[in-house]
Amino acid sequence: MPNEVEPLDPIRIKPNEKRRVAYFYDSDVGNYAYGTGHPMKPHRIRMAHSLIMNYGLYKHMEIYRAKPATKQEMCQFHTDEYVDFLSRVTPENADLFAKEQVKFNVGDDCPVFDGLFEFCGISGGGSMEGAARLNREKCDIAINWAGGLHHAKKSEASGFCYLNDIVLGIIELLRYHPRVLYVDIDVHHGDGVEEAFYSTDRVMTCSFHKYGEFFPGTGELRDIGVGKGKHYAVNFPFRDGIDDDNYKSIFEPVITAIMEWYQPTAVVLQCGGDSLSGDRLGCFNLSMHGHANCVKFVKSFGLPTLVVGGGGYTMRNVSRTWTYETGILNNKIVGPEIPYNDYYEYYGPDYRLEVRPSNMQNANSREYLNKILTQVLQNLSRTKFAPSVQMQDVPRDAEDVGDVEEDTAEAKDTRGGSQQRRDENVEATGEFYDDEDATGGKNVMEVDYSQV
């Protein structure tokens, strides 16, 4: 039973877990600025990169500068008119696009800034190329700290995000992978990614976030997907102040259950740094080690994994944590001293790598967490007939039916559960694998986006 809270184990590295890591970085990324006073600062990616290099992690991974995502690539998810707008609007001509700015939610939170479109191209290019390298088995782990912009919608900017690099990366993975798991540890709900794949069982989205009077306002426990995607969206709503041990006591059983029931063949992990203690916008109390434990845990399943950034508004802590996590992904523990680097002065007065928790109150009671965990695990057990995985015909348990008290749509929607429906999926997914000759030798699974 999930009643016990186990203390966080010290993170240990097993040498035989070494995997090939591709790291994507574009040295232009730190030059883009949302505007004075705006909390989102791409500079933090450059700070992380400088730390990563000065810890010597470049010796252990392959470093790439991705080709920026093209308009055509962006339109695999976003609408043509939205991408066209992003490519044309500048601070100088913004007045001419007044109507479009309202329509596409560009303005206050998501301002028009110099180089906006290039910034989107860098973020998207890293996640797409990372996914492509994973697909071709050129690496086991791909890292793009400039990605993770999970709020962007098909035709709308949101929450400092314009281009949803994660959705683009997942679409790329779906060309080869029958089932992709998306895990989001940003303090905010991963709404843009969830929405994009809400009605498909080929992507399971799992977001752990603050819920209740907090941006973006979505991500309730009862939001579990619709149609074929029912039970393939997982939301864990936290209250303020969740700490390392309690986070781990939820994260590990939920991810374990997903791995067992859903059996993903690839993973995308969004590592938003605003779930760290002391974040300018966040309200959680995770230390660097508590945050990195999620990375270590997901890595331990040994699946092809795309790791992306996300939120994070106390820059020195974001760069610390993403550096430490880059180490974990390379099977290296870095720290505790900060090595000399281009941004050394940011890390005073102690010049240590650690991000410590504060004494803030944890508003998540054990009773609350256990109640939600029980419900999430119960929902997950309904995905037992994972698409394209051959399963025996097991009758559904009586208690499996109709006991999601908050889910009023349960009675209306019966499409997700029937064995016949699942069998159809098993057959259908085979069709996605073209043979080499038919696809110019690339062995590519063509994804019709309207189907996913």
Contact residues for Zn ion, defined by CB under 5 A = 186, 188, 272, 274, 311
Residue with the two structure tokens 């996300």: 310
CB of 130 to Zn ion, least distance (A): 20
Q: Give min distance, CB of 274 to Zn ion, in A.
A: 4
Q: Is 313 annotated among the ligand-binding residues? A: yes
Say if residue 273 carries a ligand binding annotation: no
Say if residue 423 carries a ligand binding annotation: no
Q: Catalytic residue positions?
A: 151
CA atoms within 13 A on the CB side of 233: 27
- The reply to whether 159 sits in an annotated binding site is yes
Q: Indicate the helix (H) or strand (E) that contains 192.
A: helix 191-196
How far CA 73 is from CA of 26, 167, 367, in Å, comes to 18, 11, 46
Do 444 and 176 form a contact (C-beta atoms < 8 A)?
A: yes
Q: Using CB positions, name the residue nearest to Zn ion.
A: 311
Report the residue number, 156 or 274, with the smaller CB distance to Zn ion.
Answer: 274
Rank residues 140 and 156 by Cβ distance to Zn ion and give the closer one: 156
158: which DSSP letter?
Answer: B
The sign one gets for the Cα dihedral 415, 420, 425, 426 is positive
The owner of tokens 């994660």 is 166
63, 145 Cβ separation under 8 angstroms: no
Tokens found for residue 142: 């791909």
- Which is closer to Zn ion, CB of 172 or CB of 186? 186
Mapped onto helix, strand or coil, the DSSP state of residue 23 is strand
Smaller CB separation from Zn ion, 147 or 272: 272
Of the pair 111, 311, the CB lying nearest Zn ion is at: 311
Q: Which two tokens stand for residue 14?
A: 């097993």
CA distance 21 to 168: 20
What is the smallest separation between the CB atom of 208 and Zn ion, expressed in angstroms? 12
Q: Is 435 annotated as a binding residue?
A: no
Instruction: Tell me which amino acid residue 446 is.
Output: E
Contacts of 426 (CB under 8 A, 6+ apart): 387, 388, 389, 390
Shortest distance (Å) from residue 267 CB to Zn ion: 19
Residue 273 C-beta: closest distance to Zn ion, Å: 8
φ, ψ dihedrals at 158, nearest 5°: -165, 140
| Annotated binding-site residue numbers for a divalent metal cation | 186, 188, 274
Which residues are documented as binding site for substrate? 109, 159, 313
Binding-site residues? 109, 159, 186, 188, 274, 313
